[in-house]
Amino acid sequence: MTNPLLAPIDQLIDYAHIEATHIEPAITELLAQARSAVETIANQPTATWDSTVSALHNATEQLWRAWTIVGHLNSVINSPELREAKTRCLPHITEFSTWLGQHAGLYEQYRQLAQSADYVHYNAEQQRTIELALRDFRLGGVELQGEARQRYGEISEQQALASQRFSENVLDSMDQWALYITDPTQLAGIPDDVLSAFAAAAAADDKTGWKITLKMPSYLPVMQYAENRELRHTLYQAYATVASDQATKPELDNSQVIEQLLHLRAEEAQLLGYNNFAELRLETRMADSAEQVIDFLHDLAQRALPFARQDLEQLKAYALDLGITDFQPWDATYVSEKLRQAQYNYSEDEIKQYFTEPQVLNGLFHVAQELFGVSFKAADLSVWHPDVRAYEVYNADQHCIGYLYLDMYARAGKQGGAWVNSERSRRQTATDLHLPVTYLVCNFSSPQDNKPALLTHDDVITLFHESGHALHNLLSAVDEPDVSAFAAVEWDAIELPSQFMENFCWEYPVVALLSSHVDTQQPLPLELYQKLLAAKNFQSGMQMVRQIEFSLFDILIHHQPQGLSIQAVLDTLDQVRSQVAVILPPSWHRFPHAFSHLFAGGYGAGYYSYKWAEVLSADAYAAFEENAVPLADGSRNTLVADTGRLFRDEVLAVGGIRPAADSFAAFRGRQPSPEALLRHSGLSQDAA
């Protein structure tokens, strides 16, 4: 059988027939082809755009696509065979990537292009491609010599392996934990549809009763609704100690992995002439320095802390009403849900009955069409799991502009969380246009009892968030992949489209489109929506300082001239919490050990990006509020086509052709202001 990973770049991948045995032969063959082609390019006497930049893409894009697919499958259908195949290939991929970034001959080709008479005639995409390539060569160690050059390669390989090990330890630690319950009284308060899922999970293991896991569709409802305080404590402790010295599997402890990664990152920064890893990372960000980031976060914290303290006092007071006299962290989610129901007279379970997955998807697609003029049509494409659905994406002229794969449900062997990745970016060649291919992955509850899957309103927000990332890739008008959104937009601006899309989930005309009760098919009633909206900023102060806690912890552990011991890491987190947290977890809590964003997901020294980009996204959405059309029922329509097209053209379509600050200014007509974020979060005098 033909190896699906070797499909030509202009063909779609036959995911259903990829096997673990395909990985090593495909990667080995593509590496050899790419290395040979790169040597030819690097040794040519004269550099031209076609013979250098275009030729380099031709030489490597099939390899990078295959490797992206390997990583993707490892995340969504993990198996021992897939994992072993990836692990065997990873050192070779890392070595090639380092070799490529340090190739003096290739670097010289790009320097020739930058200095050539033709450079002034290149378009903006081409000039930006060369500019970023030269920067990345420098950051990739091209100017290192001798032992430093060799050591850089070793560091790159060790970091890649350590990040993979971190991710595997988290996945295995979560997958190997389960709690089987046979006494129904222990599950009092948990909604019926969740109990049905627990029962089905137990039955799948040939057991009676109910099975609870640490996957979010299982963990969160227990923490929200279980009246059994000891059960909440058990789950909280299991989740808080995943992949740590406090868990039951010492071989999955990420303590040494964290230490190793921090030491390697600090050493990498020193080799490249930077004082610390944060300084190195910020070379490619909007923010100018770690000090600027720290000041930004402290300023937000000072604004949010008074509200967060009020939130906590209210929570503790209500806990007393529930008979909880010694309020603990494992009570917080449960008491919050009870307080929300008491204050706003609705429960998340009640709301969830209205958000059936098919209706939510239809509504999301309608929003994208209204705003950006694109439509989604189901496509019969090969997929990696029966749950996955594929779509062709069309523009207003009914030309196909890309492909979207949706993988929505939690399952064993699939990493938790939600994310988007690009299998293939848009690229215009001399003879063809390669369309973008995008994955959108979530971990929602799957359909139960022959009914559609039900999403919480938070799930809906998550889906809209990830759709913003997907649209950033799918709506690209960029011809050169090196300046596409995911390749070139600064990390602290990449969350702008995703956080921007979340705002529409709070507008009643959109909510009506998204909702259809699982039994009556009626949209969410206006009265219930108004309760949901009134609760929008419920505990927003606590939520804000929690994100600031993560961000400060991240920037501080990476703003060191050398790595840290795991005790120093935990001490840093304690220091941050003493400054900005209002709920202090117990001493056995090991949050960093499962913080995959930092240690396996590329967000090291960059987690602040969520708050940084939230300023941009809130201000961008304010443009839609300013141009909204008032409706007869007192609501407003923010699906403003003209403003949506401007956002598409000036932010989404341009990718990384220019700095993100310039794209924001082109859309908004000015620099960003934090006032909209504070207003949206209910943390200002004129909060809305």
- Among 290, 274, 305, 372, smallest CA distance to 612 is for 290
Q: What is the DSSP code (8-state) at residue 475?
A: T
Q: Which residues contact 575 (CB under 8 A, 6 or more apart)?
A: none
Neighbours of 549 (CB within 10 A): 21
* DSSP label of 538: T
CA dihedral (171, 172, 175, 177) positive or negative = negative
CA angle at 68 for the pair 62 and 69, rounded to the nearest 5°: 90
Q: Which amino acid is at 655?
A: G
Nearest to 113 by CA among 134, 138, 136: 134
* DSSP assignments along 248-269, one per residue: S-GGG--HHHHHHHHHHHHHHH
140, 98 Cβ separation under 8 angstroms: yes
Q: How many CB atoms lie within 10 A of CB 626?
A: 10
Residue 197, both tokens: 């899922």
Burial of 112 (0-12, 13-18, 19+ CB in 10 A): middle
Catalytic residue among 268, 348, 466, 490: 466
Tokens 């000891």 appear where? 230
CA distances from residue 80 to 66, 163, 414 in whole angstroms, order as listed? 19, 17, 13
Cβ contact 137:100 at 8 Å: no
CA nearest neighbour of 548 among 518, 573, 521: 573
- Residue 495 is among the residues annotated as catalytic for this protein: no
Half-sphere exposure in the Cβ direction for 171 (13 Å, CA): 23
Letter for the amino acid at 394? Y
Catalytic site residues?
466
